[in-house]
Amino acid sequence: MSVESCVLQGAEAGGFILIQDTVKCTGRGLLKCFINAALKRGEDVHVLGFESPETEVCAGLDRSCVQKLHFHKGFPDPLGWTRRSSFTVERFASQHITQLIKDTQQAKASVLVVDSLSLVLRHHDPLVFCQTLQELRKGGVIKTIIGLLHSDLHQQGIVGIVCYLASTVISVAPANNERHSVAKTTRRTKSGKVMQEEEYFSVCKDATLSVQAKPRQPGHVQKERDVSEADPTSNLTFNLRLSEEERKAKEKVALPFVFSQEKKSALLKPTPGSGRIVYEPDDNDDFDEEDPDDDLDV
């Protein structure tokens, strides 16, 4: 599944979409595209905003659907030191989040967006953190979890565990063209099959996704065969290729043991009397029709 399809369609029930970024390339714009697409599908979206204010999260979203967005303020006091946040990192537990959603839940299951999982993971035991995610996925009140993870802030082993829990992982990285970023999407199906796709994308001001073809490098000429593929005959001291005249001359040469159609017909055409054995007895032949074996000394 491409990153555009993933944004537009979301994930199946119980899905966990993980956006993985680094300091070199932020994934927050892509996270906003997921929020905007979910709102347009008519889904209720709950955002646990630990790293960005509500005004920044809502900027560019479709105004006709923004009433379905429930922002739970964790910024700028995610740890609750000044009591300015309605939801703190400490309350990141299945029972608290489930109750939070039930208080405002409509008929449908909601989409939970966590901005970001890194802040939660730095203040929770990784085992408890993973258990919470699993409980939320199976709790029934949440249809999909979408989380942003700053992978360069954690040990690779912990990042790997979180990625293993996700049904879809989108890793973003900078591209040579500053207007685009690279998204590598890895999706694991229920059967266990892993599918990967890499694309170039940009985020528009209206929080929609624009997927682009691979930008060509300056001076690069696209040929029938990409120049990055090595030609094994390029450095040989002799020529393995045929000119047009050589090719035509080769086609005219009759190969040995290859019969023409005329010769095949002549050889296979039956002639009168062919296939019969005729024996004419000699004058000295001793042939007795009554006892053909009387010459045997038995």
Question: What residue ranges define each of the domains in the chain, with the CATH number in brackets?
Answer: 3-78+85-212 (3.40.50.300)
What is the pLDDT averaged over residues 211-229? 50
Q: What is the pLDDT of residues 107-156, one digit of tens each?
A: 678 999 999 999 999 999 999 999 999 999 988 899 999 999 999 999 99
CB atoms within 10 A of CB 2: 16
Q: What percent of the chain has pLDDT over 70?
A: 74
Burial of 66 (0-12, 13-18, 19+ CB in 10 A): middle
Q: What is the pLDDT of residues 61-92, one digit of tens each?
A: 999 999 999 999 999 999 999 988 999 999 99
61 within 8 A of 207, measured Cβ to Cβ:
yes
Gap between the Cα atoms of 238 and 127, Å rounded? 64
Report helix, strand and coil shares of the chain as percent, to nearest 5.
30, 20, 50
Q: Measuring CA to CA, which residue among 230, 27, 174, 180 is closest to residue 115?
A: 27
Residue 223 has pLDDT above 50, yes or no: no
Report pLDDT for 104. 81
| Residues present in the chain in total | 298
* Position with higher pLDDT, 222 vs 141: 141
Residue 103 has pLDDT above 50, yes or no: yes
Report pLDDT for 40. 94
* Position with higher pLDDT, 43 vs 216: 43
3-state secondary structure of 39: helix
Report pLDDT for 230. 52
Residue 26 has pLDDT above 60, yes or no: yes
Q: Measuring CA to CA, which residue among 50, 212, 181 is closest to residue 117?
A: 50
Residue 227 has pLDDT above 50, yes or no: no
Report CA dihedral (124, 128, 129, 132) to the nearest 10 degrees.
-130
Q: What is the pLDDT of residues 174-205, one digit of tens each?
A: 998 778 999 999 998 878 889 999 999 999 99
0.75 exceeded by pTM? no
What is the pLDDT averaged over residues 244-265? 70
Q: Which amino acid is at 223?
A: K
